[in-house]
């Protein structure tokens, strides 16, 4: 099934100024620890391992992890990309000390702008918001490849629906979020995630904590921009 404009819009529409103001407490504080059973400290550690001094973050939300992670340089280049203007504004304000670049972009569409390339790209908690199967969502890797230097790392995490142990609250909340279109992960499982990562990246690492898959891989070869 091809994703509709409505489904794509629903995946980002929840991020209003109001929801962003409580996101860190509700999602990163409560849901991650007690419902998805992957504490945010685990994700932050992953950022610390993978982030570079020349970093693009896609699907930025409140920018919590960018605010708290340890960049390997004092003055990193940080770029933010999101379809939602509220998320871009919230996150860029939060990390204004890094003078971030901002790009408003639907990641399911090719990236037209000529942007200097990055050493790391973060796609944290983005895949489960995107409509379609994992194989369809994986088009984002094609769109991001031209923005990555050879050897650059792509990393992130996503909440899986199938093949992970879910407590009762997780079953209910995932169902609710999928019904509202906030999540579109009812077909997402570990095997298809691994397969898509292998098709697009090298040196893949995938680890499951609770309902969350933390993943990373490297771009080994410069790949041409797809035909626009």
**Residues binding ligand SAM (CB under 6 A):** 8, 11-12, 15, 59-61, 64-65, 82-84, 87, 106-108, 124-126, 129-130
Distance of closest approach, residue 190 Cβ to ligand SAM, in angstroms: 19
Q: How far apart are CA 141 and CA 137, in angstroms?
A: 8
CB of 129 to ligand SAM, least distance (A): 4
Say how far apart CA 179 and CA 171 lie, in whole Å.
Answer: 12
- How far, CA to CA in Å, does 79 sit from each of 53, 104, 213? 11, 11, 24
Nearest distance, CB of residue 49 and ligand SAM, angstroms: 15
Q: Residue of minimal CB distance from ligand SAM?
A: 61
Which is closer to ligand SAM, CB of 65 or CB of 98?
65
Q: Which is nearer to ligand SAM, 95 or 107 (CB)?
A: 107
When the beta carbons of 4 and 220 are compared against ligand SAM, the nearer one is 4
Interatomic CA distance for residues 123 and 144, integer angstroms: 10
Under 8 Å between Cβ of 131 and 191: no
Q: Between residues 130 and 174, which has the closer beta carbon with respect to ligand SAM?
A: 130
Closer of 80 and 164 to ligand SAM (Cβ):
80
Compute CA distances 122 → 144, 158, 163, whole Å. 10, 11, 24
SS3 164: coil
Which residue's entry shows tokens 């994992």?
134
CB of 220 to ligand SAM, least distance (A): 25
Smallest gap from residue 55 Cβ to ligand SAM (A): 12
Q: Are 139 and 116 in contact (CB under 8 A)?
A: no
DSSP-assigned letter for residue 69: S
């Amino acid at each position: 099934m091809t994703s509709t404009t409505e489904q794509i819009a629903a995946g980002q529409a929840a991020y209003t100024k109001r929801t962003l103001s409580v996101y860190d407490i509700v999602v990163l504080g409560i849901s991650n620890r007690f419902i998805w059973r992957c504490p945010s400290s685990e994700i932050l550690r992953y950022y610390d391992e993978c982030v570079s001094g020349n970093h693009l973050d896609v699907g930025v939300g409140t920018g919590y992890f960018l605010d708290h992670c340890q960049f390997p340089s004092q003055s990193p280049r940080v770029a933010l990309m999101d379809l939602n203007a509220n998320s871009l504004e919230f996150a860029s304000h939060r990390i204004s000390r890094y003078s971030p670049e901002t790009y408003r972009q639907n990641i399911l569409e090719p990236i037209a702008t000529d942007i200097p390339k990055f050493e790391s790209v973060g796609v944290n908690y983005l895949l489960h918001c995107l409509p379609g199967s994992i194989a369809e969502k994986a088009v984002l890797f094609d769109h991001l490849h031209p923005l990555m230097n050879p050897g650059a790392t792509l990393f992130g995490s996503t909440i899986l629906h199938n093949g992970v142990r879910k407590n009762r609250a997780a079953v209910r909340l995932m169902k609710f979020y999928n019904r509202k279109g906030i999540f579109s992960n009812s077909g997402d499982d570990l095997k298809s995630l691994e397969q898509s990562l292998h098709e697009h990246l090298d040196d893949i690492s995938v680890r499951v904590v609770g309902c969350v898959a933390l993943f990373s891989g490297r771009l080994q070869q410069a790949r041409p921009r797809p035909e626009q």
